[in-house]
Amino acid sequence: MLRTLLSIALLSFGTQSLLAVPTPEQLLRNQTHSYINESKLPESAESKEFATLLSKTPEWQRELCDSGPVEDAAKTVQVLFDIWKTDKELVKRPIDRAMATACALEGGHFDWNSEAMLERYEYFRDKWNLGLLNIMYKDLTVFERRYLAHGVQHRHLNGLESMEYQNTEVCLPAERYTGACWYARWILLNPFGDTIHGPLYYQPYRNSWTNAAEMIRNIGGVCGSLSNFGAAAAIANGVPAITMGEPGHCAYTVMIKHNQWQPAYSLSWKRGIHRPFYGQSSWGWHVLTNRAMADTKDVYASADIRRLAMDYGKKKLTGKALETIAIARRKYPLDWQNWQTSAELMNELNGPTSQWQELHQDTLQLLASTSPEAAWTLLDKYVYKHVLPEGKDKADDRERILLAYQKSISGWGVARWEYDRALSKQIKLLAGDKNLEDQFAVSCFGAHVKENTLTPVILEHQLSRIGKDDDRRSQFIASIGKGLSKGKGDDFNNVIDTLAKKILPDAAKNGDKSTFQFIGSLTKKVFKPTEISPEKFPGVLLSSGGTFTIDEPGNRWDNPARHWGVIEEHGGDFHTGSKNPHATIQLGNYGLLSGVTIVTRGGHIGRLNGAILETSLDGKEWTTVYTFSNVKRVNRIPLADKKIEAGYVRISHPNKQHLHFEKFHVYGKKIN
C-alpha cells in the first residue's frame, strides 16, 4: 500500500525523477544516522558496534524514529547506547528492545540521566521475566511504553523502592487501577497540624518507611498525593498511566485497554496531561495522539511518506514536497505530524497562497470533524495568516472564511475543549466591527443548532461580550429566536430548552420583560400545557407578559426553561432551593388585584403551609397579605376586598420549605 501511494505521488515527476527517489528504508536509515551523528558517541569499539547494529535493524530504527517526538536526539541515542551496553542481547528480544527504546526517548525528553533510565529499563525487564507485570505489558507499543518510562509528576514515587512496593502491594487488573488512589486515605492535616500544602507534612515520617509509596499509603494525603500514588501503582505493574492537572485539583488517567484511557479521580473536563506529546496538554490532544499512534502499521506508513516530503523539502523541490506531504495528511489525517509538517514545509519553501488554501480546506474536511481543537490549533497558528484577507473592507470575506470552520465541526469531537477561546479569537479577527461580530455569533449559533452541543457556549460567550447593552442584547436574542420559532422537531426543541435555561433567569433578574416573554413563548413548542385550569378571578391575567424568578434557578430540581409558563395560561413548573425560598412575579401590568390562584405540583403539597403571599409596587418594599394554611393542590386567594395595587407579587417561606408550583396566576384590573 505504501509503495503504491508513493508511486502515485511521483508519477507526475517523470521517469528519471522516480528512479532517483530514495526508498523508505533509505530515508529511515538516513534519519537514524542523523540521530547517531548528533549524539557524538565516544569513539570506541562498542559505539561502532552499537551504531552498526542499529543501522542494520530496521525494526529498531522504526521504534526509535516513529514512536512519537524525538525531542533531544543526541541525548536519546546516548541513553539508548548506555542501556544497550549493559544488555547487548536486548535487540533480539522485542519486548525488552521496545522498553529500552521507550526509556531512551523519555530520557531525551525529561531530565532523567542514563543511570536512572537504565534502572527503569532493568526494573521492567526483570519484572516481566518473573511474570510480575500485567499481561497488557507484552503488547504495548513503544509509544505506550513511554508513559511507563516517564513516570509520575511526584518524582519521589518514581524510585525503585516505591515501584517495588507498589508492584507487590497494589497488584490489580488494569481497569481497577482507576481506584488505586484510594489505597491511601484523604487527609489534609497531619497529626501535628501541618497542611499537606507545606513542606512539613511528611517530614516527621521520612525515616519511618523505606519508600515514598509506603509512606503515602500509611499517612495519606490529598488529591495530588493520591492521584500520583494511583498512577504510579499502575506504572509499577506495567500499565500505562499519567497524572493530570485540573482546576484546583489533581487527577490521573489509566490505559485500561489498548487505546482506551479512563480518567480517574477526575472532577472536571478541564484536564492538563502531565506528559503531552503534541499540540496542547488537554485531554482532547491526549485522546487524539493515542488514537493516531494506536496502529503501528499506519504510524510507520505515515512517517515514510512524511520523510519523503521532508527530503524533497531539503532539496528545495517545492512542488514535490508539498504534493507528497498532502498525500500524507489526506491518507493519515489523525497524525498531527503530517499537519504540522505541511505548515512548516510551506513556511520554509514559501508555499503559494493556493497551497495554503488547500491546507485550509483539508483541515476543515479531514481534521475538524474528528478534533476541532487540533484543527483550530493549526488554523490559528499557521493557516489563517495566509488565507484571511486583511483590512476593514475585507471583513465580510474574513467572516465567510471563519464561519467555514464553524460549519465544519460538530460537537466537541474526541473530547470537550475550550471552544470559547477559539470563538473569541475568531471574533477578534473581524477587526472590531460590533455589528459584524454579533452577526457572526448568530451565524455560529445557527451552525450548531441541530447538534446543540456548542450553542450554550456561544450563548454565554456572546451575552458576556454584550454586557449591559440592552438594545444589543435584545437584537441578538431576537435574531437567534427568529430562526428557532420556525424550526420543528426534537433538535429545535432541545435548542429552545437550552436557550430558555440560560436566558430566562437573567432576563427575570434584570426585569427584562420583552426578552423573558420572547424566549419564554418559544417554550410552548417544547412543553405540554398544564391540564388543571382553576376558576379565574375577575379582570385580566396581570401576571401574563411579566417575568418570573425564584431563588437558585436551575438547581437540581428546577428547569428554568419551564418558568415562563408558570405565570401564563399555558402552565409550567418550578422548584425553589431551600436557603431563601421565594417565587416572585414582576407583573405584566400594574393593577388592582382581584385574586391569586396557585396550582402546586402533585407531591409534597403541604410544604406550602406557612408560606406568605406578599405584594409590592416597586419590588423593594413588601407587604404581607396572606398566610397559607390547609393548602390543597389548587389554592384560590381572593384579594378584591383588600384594594391592593401592585406591580410585583411573591410567595416566600419563612420556614425555608421548598416551593414548587405549576401555575402562579395573578388577576385584577390594569391601572397603567
Q: Under a CB-based contact definition with an 8 Å cutoff, are residues 308 and 345 in contact?
A: no
Same domain, 459 and 538: no
Position 391 pLDDT exceeds 90: no
* Secondary element (H or E) of residue 667: strand 661-670
- For 636, phi and psi rounded to 5 degrees? -115, 125
What pLDDT does residue 16 have?
Answer: 37
Q: In whole angstroms, what is the distance from residue 506 CA to residue 84 CA?
A: 66
Pairing of strands 540-541, 249-257: unpaired
Q: What is the pTM of this model?
A: 0.82
Band the pLDDT of 9: cuts 50, 70, 90.
very low
Structural domain of residue 438, as residue ranges?
Answer: 352-465
Position 480 pLDDT exceeds 90: no
Average pLDDT, stretch 463-490? 76
Q: Looking at the domain assignment, is residue 6 inside a domain?
A: no
For the chain, give the percent of residues with pLDDT over 70.
96
Band the pLDDT of 13: cuts 50, 70, 90.
very low
Q: Looking at the domain assignment, is residue 532 inside a domain?
A: yes
Hey, is 145 helix, strand or coil? helix
- What is the tally of helices (H) and strands (E) in the chain? 27, 12
Q: In whole angstroms, what is the distance from residue 368 CA to residue 353 CA?
A: 21
pLDDT digits (tens, 9 = 90+) for 252-261: 999 999 999 9
For the chain, give the percent of residues with pLDDT over 90.
77
What pLDDT does residue 10 have?
Answer: 43
Same domain, 361 and 286: no
What pLDDT does residue 19 have?
Answer: 45
Q: Looking at the domain assignment, is residue 307 inside a domain?
A: no
Same domain, 275 and 373: no
pLDDT digits (tens, 9 = 90+) for 548-573: 999 999 999 999 999 999 999 999 99
pLDDT digits (tens, 9 = 90+) for 61-101: 999 999 999 999 999 999 999 999 999 999 999 999 999 99
Q: Under a CB-based contact definition with an 8 Å cutoff, are residues 242 and 340 in contact?
A: no
Q: Looking at the domain assignment, is residue 82 inside a domain?
A: no
Q: In whole angstroms, what is the distance from residue 574 CA to residue 549 CA?
A: 9
Q: Looking at the domain assignment, is residue 305 inside a domain?
A: no
Q: In whole angstroms, what is the distance from residue 122 CA to residue 99 CA?
A: 9
Question: Cell numbers at residue 243, please?
Answer: 497524572
Q: Looking at the domain assignment, is residue 571 inside a domain?
A: yes
DSSP for 151-172? --SSGGGGSHHHHHHHHHH---
Same domain, 357 and 461: yes
Band the pLDDT of 6: cuts 50, 70, 90.
very low
Same domain, 537 and 658: yes
Residues 165-186 as b or e (16 or more Cβ within 10 Å = b): bbbeebbbebeebbebbebbee
Position 135 pLDDT exceeds 70: yes
Average pLDDT, stretch 116-145? 98
Nearest residue to 388 (alpha-carbon basis) of 361, 423, 358, 357: 357
Q: Which class for 285: exposed (0-12), middle (13-18), buried (19 or more C-beta within 10 A)?
A: buried
Of the chain, the end-to-end C-alpha distance in Å amounts to: 80
Number of structural domains (the chain) is 3
Q: How many CB atoms lie within 10 A of CB 450?
A: 15
Q: Looking at the domain assignment, is residue 442 inside a domain?
A: yes
Q: In whole angstroms, what is the distance from residue 281 CA to residue 98 CA?
A: 25
Band the pLDDT of 237: cuts 50, 70, 90.
very high
From 445, 465, 485, the end of a domain falls on 465
Same domain, 381 and 460: yes
Helix intervals (H) in 202-316: 212-219, 223-236, 283-292, 296-314
Long-range contacts of 11-20 (CB under 8 A, 24+ apart): 12/323, 13/320, 17/320
Same domain, 357 and 273: no
Q: In whole angstroms, what is the distance from residue 556 CA to residue 408 CA?
A: 34
What pLDDT does residue 473 have?
Answer: 81
DSSP for 607-635? GGTT-EEEEESSSSS-EEEEE--S--SEE
pLDDT digits (tens, 9 = 90+) for 575-602: 998 778 999 999 999 999 999 999 999 8
Average pLDDT, stretch 434-459? 88
Is the CA virtual torsion 405, 411, 415, 416 positive or negative?
Answer: positive
Same domain, 179 and 275: yes
Q: In whole angstroms, what is the distance from residue 643 CA to residue 638 CA?
A: 11
Average pLDDT, stretch 336-349? 97
In sequence order, what are the beta bridge partners of 156?
A: none
Q: Looking at the domain assignment, is residue 570 inside a domain?
A: yes
Same domain, 262 and 369: no
Same domain, 258 and 359: no
Q: Under a CB-based contact definition with an 8 Å cutoff, are residues 437 and 447 in contact?
A: no
Same domain, 288 and 356: no
Least confident of 316-325, 343-352, 519-528: 519-528
Band the pLDDT of 491: cuts 50, 70, 90.
low
Same domain, 659 and 547: yes
Kindly report the average pLDDT of the chain as a whole number: 92
What pLDDT does residue 69 have?
Answer: 97
What pLDDT does residue 15 have?
Answer: 35
pLDDT digits (tens, 9 = 90+) for 355-388: 999 999 999 999 999 999 999 999 999 999 999 9
Q: What is the CATH number of the domain that holds 598?
A: 2.60.120.260
Position 3 pLDDT exceeds 60: no
Q: How many CB atoms lie within 10 A of CB 538?
A: 11
pLDDT digits (tens, 9 = 90+) for 598-649: 999 988 999 999 999 999 999 999 999 999 999 999 999 999 999 999 999 9
- For 518, phi and psi rounded to 5 degrees? -65, -50
Nearest residue to 229 (alpha-carbon basis) of 272, 284, 186: 186
